[in-house]
Amino acid sequence: MQNVGGLTFPGLQVSTDTISLQYDGSGVGGPAATDGTTISAGITTGTLYYSLLMKVTVVQAAGGNAFATGVNLTSGSFMAGPQTIANTAAPAAGSSAAPLLIRSGDGTQFSPTYQLGTSKTATAADRQYYTGQAFTTGAGAQTVFVVLKYDFAAGGSASLYINPTPGGVEPAAQLTVTAGTALTLNSGIRSFFVRNNSVEPDTLLIDELRIGTLWADVTPAVPEPATSVLVGLGVFGLISSRRLRRR
């Protein structure tokens, strides 16, 4: 679903439109779903970065689900990331590389905060979270600038960067995961998915999605006057310029 109101972050180059992608948790506005877009014929070496802006405005709406109960309060849910299968397929545990993970911030289903994490793939037992900060939800929700990296070297690793400085050099990651289930390589990373399901907040916004093979591809600073502008919600960088839409 498209949401009227684009997200911004200090110093980050953003698009001129006012549209963002809105997740409505299963049971609110539609069933659970996964959408994808092709980004490459297959990436098997080097590094892949992606970045996005996100905000959680509603944890539970009427009839909604909010954060999951039981084991998912710890393992959370994978909500976006590159994968080694076609864009029409739902991500499997070993096919998603450096997925963006989300879970309750205080271990309760209706938490007013959330934590972010990643793993080499989406395998539940391997998921790790950055516990140094819990981000707010609701009316006072903050916009978070998130960058993730998958590095094919030495068996693969996933790194999470939260609120880095746009236009700067790559800093130390808040979280890097090297252990766990190996990526099922298939023909390499081929597509990018977004996943809307019943173990995520009921209203979650995503905007300014970028994908590239360099840090600079996904963290551009506000340009000097007269430089080119972006097209919102597109997939940017060296790989693709195709727009990602909800179905």
Nearest to 101 by CA among 78, 83, 130, 82: 78
Nearest to 18 by CA among 208, 239, 212, 228: 208
Greater pLDDT, 32 or 146:
146
Region 211-223: mean pLDDT is: 95
Residue whose entry in the numeric block shows the structure tokens 């981000």: 135
Structure tokens at 148: 């993730």
pLDDT tens for each residue of 88-141: 777 777 899 999 999 999 999 889 999 999 999 999 899 999 999 999 999 899
Judged against a pLDDT cut of 80, whether residue 239 lies above it is answered with no
The CA-based dihedral angle spanning residues 247, 64, 133, 1, taken in that order and rounded to the nearest 10 degrees: 20
pTM: 0.87
Determine the pLDDT at residue 19: 87
E-assigned strand segments in the chain: 2-4, 19-24, 33-43, 47-58, 77-83, 100-104, 113-118, 128-129, 135-136, 144-151, 157-162, 175-177, 189-196, 203-212
Taking the C-alpha atoms of residue 3 and residue 20, their distance in angstroms, rounded to an integer, is 5
pLDDT band at residue 243, thresholds of 50, 70 and 90?
very low
Judged against a pLDDT cut of 90, whether residue 86 lies above it is answered with no
Domains of the chain are 2-218 (2.60.120.200)
pLDDT band at residue 224, thresholds of 50, 70 and 90?
confident
Sign of CA dihedral 226, 209, 158, 189: negative
